[in-house]
Amino acid sequence: MTHSQKVIFSWIAGLLYGLFGVLQILSAIVPGLAGLLAPVFIPTDIASGFVLCVIGAVFIVGAQEIHARIAGGEAFLYVGMLLSVAFGLIMLLDLGAQGVDTALFGVEGSSWSLTQMIVPMLYLALLSLAGFAAWGRSFIRDIVPA
């Protein structure tokens, strides 16, 4: 992958993570906004929103440093992708735990829907997995000499 593709990927990932993070935080703070954002799978979770904003900031700093050709700028891209996948896996484990809890100890009449559990942290991790698919070899190759 070329230098410009990494910059574009970092900017897109950073802006998406930042946007979804801010929307999650605002949906928890602003009354009535949660109802508007529920159909697009944005929950009211301040902590997850903050995590999304931090991951977005890592991607944006990476885009700026890669664009400026600063040594080690790609490290921000790789760390952003690692954070994204790590938190995506945590959300996937949480999803599985809630499903098992509902299956084993579910209360009669309570509803649990898989679509309620699909959150931005989970589906944005797919973007980072695509990045690892594209740059995985160079990522591993850069780690080995370090």
Q: What is the pTM of this model?
A: 0.86
Whose tokens are 């906004």? That residue is: 33
Half-sphere exposure of 130 (CA within 13 A, CB side): 11
108 or 84: which leads in pLDDT: 84
Among the ranges given (9-23, 29-43, 54-68), the one the predictor scored with the smallest mean pLDDT: 29-43
Cα separation of 38 and 35, whole Å? 5
Sign of CA dihedral 16, 17, 18, 21: positive
Q: Is 42's pLDDT higher than 60?
A: yes
Mean pLDDT of the chain: 85
pLDDT at res. 67: 92
Question: In b/e form, how buried is each residue of 93-131, taking b as 16+ CB within 10 angstroms?
Answer: eebeeeeeeeeeeeeeeeeeeeeebebbbbebbebbeeb
Q: Is 146's pLDDT higher than 60?
A: no
pLDDT average, residue stretch 9-18: 95
pLDDT at res. 109: 60
